[in-house]
Chains A and B, each alone.
Chain A
């Protein structure tokens, strides 16, 4: 057990004992890997772990726990998604306790049929700009050990996005893993079949992915949850990163960095492009 884990557990125990929160979202071991867990009793805190396999973004669960007081273990990017959720009126900052954990990056999860053998730092973590959550009520320093690549195979440098999209199964794992995909009637899940129909595979994959990218533009906090959840390993975060770059270049704006920073009005000043 690392010192960070120890610290994390004591914070959570205190929160639960004082009944500051009803439950805490954290990570636990599940076989050799890690999965999200919900801790609601002080004696359960021993389940909590914190290491470089904790790639899930727990903020995904916040919206469904909206009416309750919850604590959440948040990496830097998870914190950014909490900021976005608060800005978008989905989560009340006052009802959540953010236990920020300093993060040095997470490993890509192992997948059946994956081209990656061994543990490898996720590509989106290599682009990380916030190792600590911008919102925090508690801070746990030194997040685990700095992950080391055990694999020297080059990352996903595939540039043929069309063939990457073609692998897509429309399983919606990316949508379900994403903390910011909370629409009640997801437009790419095919509630209205006019744009994308979920059962028409492999049709409409282009519209599916580009629409999702457009919906994430300027909002995606690049936590990589979608990409890690994807069974066919489409490097979605890289796509969304490009769109965030567009926002940064045009408006100097990055999502999830500050609660007071409103998203820019989507306009070009007169005589913009062309």
Chain B
């Protein structure tokens, strides 16, 4: 028969005056349910409880605040679920008017706890295995920073990138704000460091197709798309490019500058390996003849890589808003209406025009206007939120124009100018004003084309209320972020949730900003909301810190999660509607709890009509006898 040991703590004898311990002891000493009663005066001190030798017994500890004491117990090792805590200090001795009442209440509380301990089932104290290798999805600045920081802590990192090279958006930018330092010059060294680092395995041209398992032990399947060049043989000499007869637009240069069908996206690419775009390749075989290392294989097939990792960081970034969805700006129709990403490539010395701001007809653009908030801060085709980076980006770009050409005229159509970052006010806004950039508070209603091919911006100045028209040579649209459908699919595969815009949702916006609802899957960069480079890098490092702190543990125990008895489950699905975390899914004609997602609130227990779900010792089986005993006379 199950029996319980009661351990009473007098809290350094301070409770002796408030509770009659003798009566408490004598009340339970005759009970057939009670094995023995021990009294301690300092249970919270190190090893006191351990030395009582109650390892596998059912124990009721009546002492101070459960919150304090439980922490001590959990810290001292396993927590087998057979120890029941009663707070006879704050919720009894301190809360009662006199000793008589406090003693009476203590007896009730202990009676309840005895019942709960009797009905408790031992919990597994086994730790989960932690595979101390990480997967970082996305090789933009957030992902690269993250991979480097994890690798530097001594753990292996797999860095999966969908493009042929890591680098992300930052590699495409000309200069970074607010200091106007060259973007690839500061990112390039990081990229090559990632390429050299022995702990980092870069898997380019790849995407995650399946994720299974729980924190500490994820099984990930990755598809590596064919590049038709064996990366192990290619030494990046570039002989193939010289002989290739076909050109294609280069995505890296915003499709503005052609490259050969066999190409490397940019000079600082990591890994520096050539790839073939089969959409353009004519299979002439010239590159095969030119390649001295026989690296080219036109029969290349997709490959599958299986990884076993303990943690995953999602840093896949975000797409930009599609300006075609705002027909009033005629993007794609008027050739001198361009996006800010195209602008970055045009103004870049390595870009299509060698860094000279030219219109499509090859003449210099002298009057340039920026339109802010395209696809952000609106309820239409874009998203309601501020896109975070574009005020600074446009001011930076304005300064770049004026650095190249003192005679140019620059106009910025803004809604609210948000220069909140470090140095933005001084290095961007003030300098722009000093350099004569004209700020117009307006969201232009239309762009028209005049007879001579220049552009006419129709707007209402919302400061003066006056209507205006402005003739310019070029219009740059500052695009907001818009998560791609591809990322939403990835989120589904990972089991993480996305918000209404499609950005990945954090476990808690403030307190757990880099965690997702799945334990062991972290997030960094623009895939969970608009950000700039600095913040993306900060988050990369932050996510790396979370990963390494996970890997630093000797063992890992998931918090108690709900478990379904498949024998009893009828598959009625009433638990599904009760789970706020979406941690329960249908599987066959039963349900399954996603253990990494479950937060252990127990809502499903109360929803299940036949107690087919258990959570630690919090079922009716334990609580019902407990409550009954407390109310018994």
Measured CB to CB, the residues of A under 8 A from B are 87-90, 182-187, 191-192, 194-195, 215, 262-267
Contacts and interface: CB of A to CB of B under 8 A. Distances in A.
Interface in B608-623: 609-612, 620-621
B578 A266 contact: yes
Contacts of A195: 620, 624
28 contacts: A87-B573, A88-B572, A89-B570, A89-B571, A89-B572, A90-B570, A90-B571, A90-B572, A183-B609, A185-B568, A185-B610, A185-B611, A185-B612, A186-B610, A187-B610, A187-B611, A192-B611, A194-B620, A194-B621, A194-B624, A194-B625, A195-B620, A195-B624, A215-B609, A262-B577, A263-B574, A266-B577, A266-B607
A267 B582 CA distance: 13
Interface in B567-613: 568, 570-574, 577-578, 580, 586, 589, 607, 609-612
Contacts of B119: 194
B577 A265 contact: yes
Contacts of B578: 265-266
Most chain A beta carbons < 10 A, residue from B119, B570, B586, B612:
B570
Given A185-B568, A194-B625, A88 B609 contact: no
Contact of B570 (A183, A194, A215): A183
B607 to A, nearest CB: 7
Nearest to A89: B571
Contacts of A90: 570-572
The 5 closest A-B CB pairs, nearest first, are A183-B610, A194-B624, A88-B572, A89-B571, A215-B609
A191 to B, nearest CB: 8
Interface in B89-122: 119
B60 to A, nearest CB: 18
Contacts of B607: 266
Nearest to B580: A267
A89 B609 CA distance: 15
Contacts of B577: 262-266
Nearest to B565: A185
Nearest to A84: B572
B570 A182 contact: yes
Contacts of B573: 87-89
A198 B513 CA distance: 51
B624 A187 contact: no
Nearest to B603: A266
Interface string B171-202: 00000000000000000000000000000000
Nearest to B572: A88
A184 B620 contact: no
A195 B589 CA distance: 27
A8 B570 CA distance: 33
Nearest to B579: A265
A88 B119 CA distance: 31
A67 B236 CA distance: 64
B603 to A, nearest CB: 8
Nearest to B628: A194
Contacts of A184: 568, 570, 610
Nearest to A212: B609
Most chain A beta carbons < 10 A, residue from B577, B589, B621:
B577
A90 B570 CA distance: 8
Contacts of A192: 611, 620-621
A195 B608 CA distance: 14
A71 to B, nearest CB: 23
Contacts of B574: 88, 263
Contacts of B586: 89
A268 to B, nearest CB: 12
Contacts of A183: 570, 609-610
B313 to A, nearest CB: 31
Given A89-B570, A182-B570, A185-B611, 6 more contacts: A88-B574, A90-B571, A183-B570, A194-B624, A194-B625, A266-B607
Contacts of B589: 89
Nearest to A191: B610
A262 B578 CA distance: 13
Contacts of A182: 570, 572
A261 to B, nearest CB: 12
A194 B610 CA distance: 12
Contact of A187 (B570, B571, B609, B625): B609
Nearest to A265: B577
B604 to A, nearest CB: 11
B434 to A, nearest CB: 48
A262 B612 CA distance: 22
A184 B612 CA distance: 10
A25 to B, nearest CB: 21
A97 to B, nearest CB: 22
Contacts of A267: 580
A104 B624 CA distance: 44
A185 B608 CA distance: 11
Contacts of B625: 194
Contacts of A187: 609-611, 620
Interface in B435-450: none
B622 to A, nearest CB: 8
Contacts of B570: 88-90, 182-184
A192 B609 CA distance: 12
A265 B610 CA distance: 19
Contacts of A215: 609
